[in-house]
Amino acid sequence: MSGQKRKGRKKVKVDLELIKELRARTGAGVLDCKNALIETEGDIEKAIEVLRKKGIARAAKKIGRQTNDGVIMAYIHPGNRIGVLVEVNCETDFVARTEDFQKFAREIAIQIAAMSPVAVSRDSVPEEVLEKEKEIYREQAMSMGKPEHIVEKIVQSKLENFLKEKVLLEQPYFRDNKKTIEEFVKENIAKFGENITIKRFVRFELGE
């Protein structure tokens, strides 16, 4: 009927300041922020989760592409007792030279300074480090009088916890412990539209 109102999707008016805040917190585009806030009816925390999930999905399509450019970022922690050099790669010099990418690389360097990882990924953890940790855990379990099959389970469980604490990509991001560094990287892959990899790092601490 012509006089009958047509039912449609509920319109949500999004405050411009809310869009600005969401953009500042996520780095996502204005339109993406607006749509996420509309979808979540103005709930900024839920909107962050929506953008995070979409960003990770977009990033998955770019992972595996060649990263032949990037930067080597240096960071000296206040007090001059801890220093970090990290190589962060992207696909083009254009992205590598942007202020946002430089800031991202610096965040990775600060993470390394603060959380003292032993390797970028599980695959790159030195075998001698793994063997040393296993030996310590095995001796601890055996000193408690545990049977051999229980000892091995304890060793594997403690080793898993060690890897989550000491592998850079699996560590909680120091500014937001709800996400890992791997998720933080994927968010930035979506943001820059290029694949990003953390190739290598070295961490110096006075006296070590």
Q: Are strands 172-173 and 176-180 parallel, antiparallel or unpaired?
A: antiparallel
Mean pLDDT value of segment 42-62: 74
Q: Residue 180's domain is classified under what CATH number? A: 3.30.479.20
Are 116 and 171 part of one and the same domain? yes
Answering whether pTM is above 0.85, one says no
Q: Which residue has the tokens 């000892």?
A: 151
26 vs 81: CA distance, rounded Å: 32
Domain assignment present for residue 51? The answer is: yes
Please check whether residue 44 is in contact with residue 14, taking contact to mean a CB–CB distance below 8 angstroms. no
What is the residue range of 39's domain?
16-60
Q: Are residues 139 and 152 in the same domain?
A: yes
pLDDT (average), residues 63-76: 88
Statement to judge: residues 158 and 97 lie in one domain: no
Question: What is the DSSP code (8-state) at residue 43?
Answer: -
Say whether pLDDT at 122 is over 70.
yes
Mean pLDDT of 83-101: 95
pLDDT tens digits for range 104-118: 999 999 999 999 999
Please check whether residues 106 and 77 belong to one and the same domain: yes
Number of domains composing the chain? 3
One domain, residues 55 and 155 = no
- pLDDT, residue 5, reads 43
Do 152 and 181 lie in one domain? The reply is no
Taking the C-alpha atoms of residue 74 and residue 208, their distance in angstroms, rounded to an integer, is 19
Q: Are residues 199 and 110 in the same domain?
A: yes
CATH at 27: 1.10.8.10
Which tokens belong to 124?
């790159």
Query: How sure is the predictor about 124, in pLDDT bands with cuts at 50, 70 and 90?
Result: very high
Q: Which of 207, 208, 206, 194 is nearest to 93 (CA)?
A: 194
Is there a single domain that holds both residue 22 and residue 105? no
Report pLDDT for 7. Answer: 44
Same domain flag for 115 and 178: yes
For residue 1, what pLDDT band results from cuts at 50, 70 and 90? very low
**Is residue 10 in a domain?**
no
At 32, list the tokens: 């993406």
Query: Does residue 6 fall inside a structural domain?
Result: no
User: Does residue 73 sit in the same domain as residue 116?
Assistant: yes
Q: What is the pLDDT of residue 205?
A: 96
In a domain, 183, yes or no: yes
Determine the Cα–Cα distance for residues 174 and 110; give it in Å rounded to an integer: 9
For residues 150 and 56, membership in a common domain is answered with: no
Q: Assign residue 145 the CATH number of its domain.
A: 1.10.286.20
Instruction: Kindly state the percentage of the chain with pLDDT values over 90.
Output: 54
Most confident range (mean pLDDT) of 26-35, 79-88, 149-158, 179-188 is: 79-88
Q: Are 112 and 184 in a shared domain?
A: yes
